[in-house]
Structures are given as structure tokens and as C-alpha cells.
Amino acid sequence: MTNNFAVDDQKARLQGIGGSEASAVMGDNPYLSAYELARIKMGLDEPEVVDNDFVHWGNDMEFFYLKKHKIRKPSRTYFYKDANYLFCHLDGLNAKEGILYEIKAPTFQSPKYVVDNWRDLPKHYLWQCVHNGLVWNNATNKIDPLKTIQLVIVIAPKPLVYEIPFYDLVQEMGVQYFDRVNAFWMDCVYDKLPPPETKRDMKLAYPSVNVAEYPEASSEDVINVKILTDLKGKKKKLESSIELYSNLVRGSIKNFNGLSLDGEIIASNKDTKSGNRLLKTFEIKETADEF
């Protein structure tokens, strides 16, 4: 995965899960379901690029709030070290005080934004706070860990500011998030869709078919499609295993030209004319001692 990318870099975002997608994984996003997100991550659907007055309003409000309160907005992408498919971009950061800022700018007022306890805030806001806090804490490995996430909702007549203790947030939501997001991402890697649940999901999962363009498959066609799908799944797992064992063999060879067994070369990692080291392995003959 790239070390850094812009917030709107859609191609890079397909390689992992960002904070704005956390609530979809958990089933608490009113605009995007886990099924829809999985289809995007697996390349079945294109991500929707939204560029309208509402988006510009949100960006402007975030900019003015940060500027007014002299809050720094990091330009880098943070990755969770132990699961680097988890990444985040932060709205604001005060690393010295251990505060992350998450800024929302809805275009209309609603009672759901005015609560006595931060636990009653919209879930899709809270899941983003969980995700960003966990990723930043792990990515930076600070001696003084994250203390607070300040969730700011910029609406008239003045912004609503909620101080969320990160420890409490993790204790209540963090554990189940890790389990769910890891399972979700592994399913995406192996092309396994979650079950469709919403009406939008059902339309995607079971679209009406134009038989003039998609004629009914014969029994032989069905068998061929099943075999091909199975082979593609095995190929993906095999490629992952090949990469793993290639790295292990390269690690054993290190600065040598290869490895040998009983006077015969079993692995070679010599320099090519282009200057690259090319790893080759050869069949190992079985001996009588191995039976």
C-alpha cells in the first residue's frame, strides 16, 4: 500500500478501509451498506464521487473552524501497523495534548445532534472516531497515547463540541470493531460478499435480467462458470502463498547467490543483466531417507 495519498484518491482508497467507511462495515451508515462497500472494494462497482454544494459547504466549514481555533490539519495518511489496510486522514490534531478532531458540517439542524451524552450521537459519527483513534494511536506509537477525540458539529447558531474520552470509546466499541472490520476485509480479499440486507443491496444482488442480452445458461455453461470462479479463488490464495514463501526463501539466501542441497542448486537469486535479482527454485529430488 502507498505510504501516503490524498483524501480524494479513489484508487488508493480501494486498497483498505478508511474512517468514513467504518460505519458501513458496522452496519450503521444510512448512506452506504456493508454489502455496497464490499462490492466497491472488490471492484464490482465504481465508488461514487460526490462533488456538490453540500460537499463544498462541509469543506469550507471545516477549514474556517480549524483556522479560527488554530488547529493543525495533518496532510499525511496514517496506517495501522499491524493491519495496514486500515488507514485514516484526520480533520485536526493536537498531538501534544493527545487530541484528535473530527469535524462534521451538516446542512440542517436536527435534534439528533443535540444530546446530553456523546454515546447518543449518530453512530456513523462515533464509528469514524473509533477508527481514526485506533489507527492514529497505533501508527504513531506515542509515549502519551490519545486522550480525547473532539467531535465538532458545525451548525448555526454555534458549533456543538463533544469531548469523547478515547479510553471509554475503545472499551465500549473498539473490540467489536476490530473483529468485524478484520472479518470484512478478509472476505473482500477472497471475493466473498456479505449477505444483502437493504433494498438497495437486493437490487444489486438480484438485478432484473434482460434475457436478450443475457440468455439462459446451459448446464455445461453453469459448470464452466462454477469451475472458473473456483479457480480464480484458488489462484488468489495461491498467489498470496507464493509471495509469502518467496520472501522466506529470499530471507534465507540474503547476500548469497542461492541455496544448494547434496551438491545440487535448489534456489537461485542471482543478479540479471537489468540489475534485478531474480528468484528461481528447482524441484528437489526425494531421497530414500525421506520415505
* Structural domain spans, the chain: 10-202, 219-290
Residue 34: CA atoms inside 13 Å, Cβ hemisphere, count? 19
Span 10-202 CATH architecture: Alpha-Beta Complex (3.90)
* Per-residue pLDDT, 13: 57
Each of the 291 residues of the chain gets a pLDDT tens digit; together they read: 445 656 555 565 578 999 999 999 999 999 999 999 999 999 899 888 777 777 787 888 899 999 999 999 999 999 998 888 999 999 999 998 999 999 999 877 788 999 999 999 999 999 999 999 999 999 887 666 799 999 999 988 889 999 999 999 999 999 889 899 999 999 998 999 999 999 899 989 988 877 788 788 899 999 999 999 899 888 888 988 888 898 899 888 888 889 999 888 999 987 766 667 788 999 887 765 554
